[in-house]
Amino acid sequence: MNFDSPWLLAISGLICGIVLGAAARHYRFCTLTALERHWYADDSLGLRSWVLAATVAIASTQLAIYFNLIVLDESFYLTPRFSLMGSVLGGTLFGIGMALVGTCGFGALVRIGGGSLQSLVVVVGLGLAALSTQRGLLSIPREKFIEPLALDLSSFSSQSIPTLISVISGFPLYWPTTLLIVLLLLFWVFKQAAFRQNRSSIVSGIIIGSCVTVGWYATYTLSQISYEPVQIESASFVLPPGQLVQSIITTAAPLPDYGVGMVVGVVIGALLVALWHKDIRWEACDDARELGRHLGGALLMGVGGVLAAGCTIGQGVTAMSVLAVSAPLVFVSICFGARIGLSWLLEGSPFSFLRND
For residue 93, count other CB atoms closer than 10 A to its CB. Answer: 23
Rounded alpha-carbon distances, angstroms, from residue 351 to 290, 298, 302, 338, 344: 22, 21, 23, 11, 7
pTM of the shown model = 0.95
Q: What are the residues whose beta carbons fall under 8 Å from the beta carbon of 306, sequence distance 6 or more?
A: 90, 130, 133, 134, 142, 238, 239
Closest CA to 321 of 33, 37, 61, 80: 61
* pLDDT value, residue 353: 76
Spatial contact of 218 and 107, defined as CB atoms under 8 Å apart: no
SS3 for 13?
Answer: helix
Beta strands at 81-82 and 151-152: parallel, antiparallel or unpaired: antiparallel
> Each residue's pLDDT tens digit in the chain (357 positions)?
455 667 899 999 999 999 999 999 999 999 999 999 999 999 999 999 999 999 999 999 999 999 999 999 889 899 888 999 999 999 999 999 999 999 999 999 999 999 999 999 999 999 999 999 999 999 999 999 999 989 888 888 788 999 999 999 999 999 999 999 999 999 999 999 999 999 999 999 999 999 999 999 999 999 998 878 889 999 999 999 999 998 888 877 778 899 999 999 999 999 999 999 998 888 888 888 899 999 999 999 999 999 999 999 999 999 999 999 999 999 999 999 999 999 999 888 887 777 755
Q: Is residue 59 packed enough to be buried (19+ CB in 10 Å), middle (13-18) or exposed (0-12)?
A: buried
Q: CA 92 to CA 103: how far, in whole Å?
A: 14
Extract the runs of DSSP E, i.e. beta strands, from the chain.
Answer: 81-82, 151-152
* Per-residue b or e along 133-162, where b marks 16 or more CB atoms closer than 10 Å to that residue's CB: bbeeebbeebeeebeeebeebeebebbbbb
